[in-house]
Structure 1
């Protein structure tokens, strides 16, 4: 009795210390958010238990790995999951030796009989195994070439699922052997609903403005937004009494330049966030622009982040002309290229600011 209570207490402690990304990972494919087409196809495959080789591709944080893990759990159950599923992260183990040794050895093994709890009624437990190769686009060309033959030879007892961000980095002979499933960036509604659900479960009070800040800073990456929410929650509860979570806190955690800082910077360049007053903007002098750039860089913000946010602010501005936007876009392209080559960040942000001010004034 005492041992059982101690075990329950230990599990409770582990749950509290667990990252929310893992804690709220989908347990079934029906829990996967905003990937209706993929889920509907896999649900039919689950009923027939005859899976093809699969290729999941799309942006990070859209549920690719979670989907195949949930599918595998529904197929094999808890007893057979470890013996029937091999998960490898190809970004760590991407050489040809891993394919020839670890992958081939697992693929050639004949699946064992069903476990006690994983009978055919509760879990289908089909007569094959699944090998999940996460970050498969990081595999070398030789490793992908070696994998091609293994997929053919052991297709009867082993199915492969390749998970990647960039499908163009998968060689064509390998991609042609798989059914492709594209995972699209999560829409605002799905991300907001999921974040609100997690906040409610964790008893974290968040406003609509905070949810909106989480969605905008994560850019469709649900995993990133959940991580930001957990970090903000820990930050808020570190004070006594706990402080409310504000949108500014989310932006600081995400490394995003706060809205008021960007609006002030844009205003100094002649771009007003209020469209009704943009027509009254005037050309600023060099010293005032240089002072603005210097103050932003002294705050420690990334030049690439400043470029990205200023780009969105200008390109999406409702009253700037197409000619003004195109001129600014060329300036952004030059600055981005220079920063990628390792140029001085402050000098190039200043160069960009002056060109934007000249284009708009």
Structure 2
């Protein structure tokens, strides 16, 4: 073949998909609504829709990582099956596509199409496949007011062939005319037992050894967000597996990955402010409690800032330590809480972290002394 001879175009090579590279959040996403954890009421209601196939417009709301998106995707797969899922379900993330143009173009065009059904499913199973489509608007609380207003008419006009599912964290950001057209489902933060059983299941499937202390730390740092705890577990497993032999996962590894300030740092800072740990350590009203002042508090704040800890995270954990302290009086806790509230507002507005950590430290010290 000469140098100038035209070669036949090569066929595109499909890249092999490696399941080991898949995020565990997606790998262990519930396949059916029965797999959804700790949302018994919602699952019970949706289970009945599978038998009647009479699905209303729905509004799922609740904290992040509680299974809202996973639930509606699992329900859609059980309704339509793998073959009809792509043509019957439109999933949009409203935080990316939240303008009125998306509602008028993409949403309206999909909503007006008459659904078509593939007679035989490729997996040999029978699915209800009701005569309507589902449009999932994730992060719907990020949609503009105009976009939400435009959505009202579309929901009414095409209700016969299209159902909407709005997924959001803050239901108060959904306008009332839109919320009144939907059946509301509240998703609760996962209880520790449900989160623990799910994490144990994933760790067992991935051959990752985790202790009860590690599971407890995952639950504590994720605050009921199962998605976050699974992500922390996967990151910790990669961190431990990167060495030979693999090192066991410790609670401090989880705290480091989660960006949480170590408990020892918070307790030491609190002791500098005059709030000592209780139990095995010195009690707050002990006469031997060390005397603190402006210079010692300023030095401790500079140490914390030099370590690179987030000011917001430091104040949040210090807040929990002070408010949950068993021996502080209610009056002292109330005074401290006002200080933390002012600091949170200031940091949200872009104030200097070091100055506000110092401000909180000095005023908490004054409140508890």
TM-score when normalising by structure 1: 0.95
Counterpart among 346, 352, 356 of residue 348 in structure 1: 356
Q: Which entry has the higher C-alpha Rg, 1 or 2?
A: 2
Cα offset for 1:121? 6.6
1:210 matched to 2:210? no
Cα offset for 1:282? 4.8
Counterpart among 160, 167, 178 of residue 182 in structure 2: 178
**Residue aligning to 2:145:** 141
Whole-Å separation in 2 of the counterparts to 1:274 and 1:104 = 61
Whole-Å separation in 1 of the counterparts to 2:101 and 2:42 = 32
Structure 1 unaligned regions, length at least 5: 1-6
Whole-Å separation in 2 of the counterparts to 1:278 and 1:268 = 12
**Residue aligning to 1:108:** 112
Cα offset for 1:360? 1.3
1:312 matched to 2:316? no
Cα offset for 1:342? 1.9
Q: Does structure 2 retain, via aligned residues, the 8 Å contact 1:119–1:125? A: no
Higher helix share: 1
**Residue aligning to 2:284:** 278
**Residue aligning to 1:292:** 300
Q: Does structure 1 retain, via aligned residues, the 8 Å contact 2:117–2:129? A: no
Structure 2 unaligned regions, length at least 5: 1-13
SS in 2 for 1:351: helix
**Residue aligning to 2:42:** 38
Cα offset for 1:327? 1.1
Cα offset for 1:10? 3.8
Matches within 5 A, 1:158-307: 158-275=162-279, 277-280=283-286, 281-307=289-315
**Residue aligning to 2:11:** none
Counterpart among 17, 20, 23 of residue 21 in structure 2: 17
Q: RMSD value over aligned CA atoms?
A: 1.7
SS in 1 for 2:137: strand
Q: Does structure 2 retain, via aligned residues, the 8 Å contact 1:206–1:245? A: yes
TM-score when normalising by structure 2: 0.93
Whole-Å separation in 2 of the counterparts to 1:159 and 1:334 = 44
Cα offset for 1:113? 2.4
Cα offset for 1:99? 0.7
